[in-house]
Structure 1
Amino acid sequence: MRNTIIDNLRGICMLGVIGIHIGSLALAPNNFTLYLFLEILSRYSVPSFFFISGYGLACTDKGLLSGSRLNYIDFMKKRLRGAGLPYLSWSLFYMLYFWLILPPGFVSWNPLHVAYVLFFGLGCYHLYFMVILLWFYASYPLWRRLLRIIIHQNIPFMLVLLFIFQLAFNWWTTHPGLNTAGWSVLAKNFFDYRLNYLPLHYLLIFISGGLAACYWEKFIALLRRYSAMVCVIFAASVAWDVQSCYEAVTVKGYTLIDLANTYHQLSPQGLCYTVGSLLFFCLALDWLERKAQSEGSLAKPFYKAISILSAYSMLIYFV
């Protein structure tokens, strides 16, 4: 049975993706408020898609809780058909597009260069998400094992530990302080594009999606019971993100583009905002769904619009 809240969460996430990719338009008038909404407060979207992916994998993994063996070959065949082929075809499409519109030399069809572009998700700037997703699929046996360990331990305590790890890992990988001048070209590329392929940056969110799948009824019941707290957490995460950006611009002299490169989804502010957003949007979609079932409810058209956006979210993302 499909979970309509998770399905419609795709639509909410896609609104964020659209905001990110038109956010640069706000740079010209130097409009701080517009840029904040489009380029900073839309950053929940990319991690939230990993929450949805973790949910989907855990839902379809019938042997997850029992600990039965995963048929890895069949699992990867299915994932490569569903995600690998679209990624390959759209990457080649964008390479062809840029080859046609850019001056000669910008795009090479040398097999090694094509492999380099595909490995790091460089066909177009938004395709890196698919590379990280494919790495999550390829390493799923590890995360499957981690999910079972968390489930058989104290879940809140394990999530706190994972949250601390996520903060530390994201901070170190985005502020490594390493001098790569003497590194080989291969090592330098792996370092420079580390944010394009390392799934560990989104491990907390991915695992949380898997846990939500295993305990969905309890998860929704907790959101309803503590709805006021969820709203406060969301508002506090927004306030911290906004205050950090405002201080950076007014006190530290940051440009708008500096904000996006600093207060992104991997920053401490961005991680807290992602967690707060996921809790809030799941609660809001649950409320919207129940309201939309009422006769003559004004929530119906809004619910339908989100559902349509969700249904075409993958195509919208690639385009």
Structure 2
Amino acid sequence: MGVDQTMSERGTEPAGTEPTPAAEPAAPAKPKRKGGHLYELDIVRIVTFAGVIFDHCVSGTTFPFSVASNAVQTIFHYTRNAFFALTGFVLVYQYRDRKLDAVDFWRRRYKAVGLPFLTWSVFYWLYHMYVMWPPAFSNVWRTFETWESTKAALKVLGYDLLTGDAWYHLYFVFVTMQVYLIFPLLLKFLRWTMGYHRYILAASFVFHLVLLHYMTNARPEMFNYGLLAKLWNHLPATVFPYQFFTLLGCVAAMHIEGVRDVVVRYRGRVITLAIGVVMATLIVYGSKVSMDGMFPTDAANVFHPYAAVMFVMIILALYAAGTYWADHRTAGSFWDRFLKTASDRSFGIFLVHAFALQELAPTIQRFRFDVYAPIVTVCTFVVTVFFTVAMTEVFRRTPISLWSTGRKMIPMAQQSLPVSVGIGVAMVAVGAVFYWPLAVPAGAVAVFLGAVLLVWQALGRTVFAGPAGARPAAPVQRP
């Protein structure tokens, strides 16, 4: 139950699943198993990542006073909680029946998620300078003209690294690293309290609701001063508001066989109930706007307690849909390969989508007042997905892959030259059309990265094809 395939042994994404360990015996066809890939998570992961992008497209193409758009965002706010449910689920699933070496765990996890966090924090720190109106590289150069301005800029960078605040979506990676920090202790706690998990989960949910109540109303007096005030101000970037969903995933993974059996048995009812809860939650949202006079963005606040049950039910419904896929998938089919590839790219897509959306912002403003909002939103979503997927494909095929996506570069021997060249040519061609005739700034980025991929395909197979570069590895012979 979760979303996002995370750091594998070679490095990957935040909050997600790792590939099957090499020494692990082959898993049976049915999901009642220990270890192995959980195909049911692929649906949850892909839908939720798409949901994040769609949610941000809605907020970026509509107005804060729109009751309808904020209703949509109320639903899609489930995504952040689904991420943390998946994080807890996958971590426990990987380690519930095997010894966990904390130091080795932290080393691999922080390499896979910490390097991309550092890379993108620095990138967005510089990019924030660039986008100051009007966007220009001279904005960046001016920041470092004097020692005083340089010190101020570096102070901001330090703040961003300590708070996950370099851009609006990086809080997730920052909180994920906090989950990794406490996970060895959390796993011991779950093993020690076996038999009492339902009570622990209930207590966690009560704490969750109480915390959300204070987060969306008046804070406790003790959090108005000193360090506690600073902690409260940054509470959304800490593990505390997400502890219940993280624990929910952990407990579900500890009892995966029973959980899956129940979900499969009542799959239709789970999905139907989830739809009913979503409708009821929207009614509550509407009453807060129409009857209580709450501003739509305030009523749609992700931390409102009234939406907590809806988030749980959406996650369960997606997991239920995922079990259907897992039970009926055809190994090696188009959709099977598509979901596998999408899972591999998902973390990179998440990290880069905010940049793509920001590059589209000037174009959005041109049509925002003259075109029906849903059309602008859908078009923005499609174009954002294209650019983010294309950019992630470039990253995965070049030496910066580990630093930008958390995964090592796809070996040149496993890269299809026609596919890689096709991606590069498509990016250059489509980017050129977007940038020149349509005057979309994001087109220039596509042209540049497409050219980078084309150049690397030549250099990576010739000049840098060596032990220290990208020598094509011999394909693995499988019996």
TM-score range, shorter-chain basis? Answer: 0.7 to 0.9
Counterpart of 1:310 (choices 328, 335, 343) is 343
Amino acid in the other structure paired with 1:77: R
Query: Is the 8 Å Cα contact of residues 65 and 148 (structure 1) preserved in structure 2?
Result: no
What is residue 283 of structure 1 aligned with on the other side? 320
- Closer, same or farther: CA 72–45 of 1 in aligned 2, 3 Å: same
Q: 1:20 aligns to what? A: 55
Q: 93, 111, 118: which one pairs with 2:123?
A: 93
| Distance in 1 (alpha carbons) for counterparts of 2:324 and 2:169 | 32
Do the aligned residues in 1 keep the contact of 2:52 with 2:76 (CA within 8 Å)? yes
Residues 125 and 108 of structure 1, relative CA distance in 2, 3 Å threshold = farther
Q: Distance in 2 between matches of 1:216 and 1:268?
A: 27
| In the alignment, structure 1 residue 74 sits paired with structure 2 residue 104 | yes
Q: Which amino acid aligns with 1:100?
A: Y
TM-score computed with the length of structure 1 as normaliser: 0.83
- Taking the aligned partners of 2:70 and 2:168, their CA distance within structure 1 comes to 19
The alignment yields a C-alpha RMSD, in angstroms, of 2.9
* Native 8 Å contact 2:271 2:320 kept in 1: no
Residue of structure 2 equivalent to 1:51: 85
Separation in structure 2 between the aligned mates of residue 247 and residue 161 of structure 1, nearest angstrom: 29
- 1:165 aligned residue (207, 212, 232): 207
Contact 1:91 1:123 in 2 (8 A): yes
In the other structure, the counterpart of 2:45 is: 10
TM-score, normalised relative to structure 2: 0.57
1:8 CA drift (Å)? 3.0
Provide the rounded CA distance (Å) in 2 between the counterparts of 1:203 and 1:110. 33
Question: Which amino acid in 1 is paired with 2:70?
Answer: Y
Q: Aligned runs of 1:244-283 on 2, under 5 Å?
A: 244-261=284-301, 264=302, 266-283=303-320
Is 1:238–2:238 an aligned residue pair? Answer: no
Greater RCO, 1 or 2 (C-alpha within 8 Å, sep 6+):
1
Structure 1, unmatched stretches of 5+, are: 295-299
Query: Could you say what secondary structure the match of 2:76 adopts?
Result: coil
Cα distance, 1:181 vs structure 2:
11
Residue 193 of structure 1, aligned match among 220, 229, 234: 234
User: Does 1:32 find its partner at 2:67?
Assistant: yes
Separation in 2, partners of 1:134, 1:174: 25
**Which residue identity lines up with residue 46 of structure 1 in the other structure?**
R
The gaps in structure 2 that reach 5 residues or longer are: 1-35, 133-138, 144-148, 353-479
Given the superposition, is the C-alpha separation of residues 60 and 304 from structure 1 closer, same or farther in structure 2, using an over 3 Å criterion?
closer
Q: Distance in 1 between matches of 2:101 and 2:54?
A: 39
Deviation at 1:123, TM superposition (A): 0.5
From 78, 103, 119, the equivalent of 2:162 is 119
Asked whether the equivalents of residues 55 and 76 of structure 2 are also in contact (C-alpha less than 8 Å), the reply is yes
CA distance in 1, matches of 2:200, 2:60: 41
Compared CA separation, residues 301 and 56, structure 1 to 2 (3 A) = same
Shift of 1:309: 3.8
The residue identity in structure 1 corresponding to 2:347 is: M
Shift of 1:247: 0.8
* Gap change, CA 1:240 and 1:108, over 3 Å in 2: farther
SS class of match (2:198): helix
Note the 1:124-135 alignment, pairs <5 A.
Answer: 124-135=167-178
The structure with the larger Rg is 2
**Alignment check: 8 A CA contact 1:43 1:270 kept:** no
Q: 1:108 Cα shift?
A: 6.4
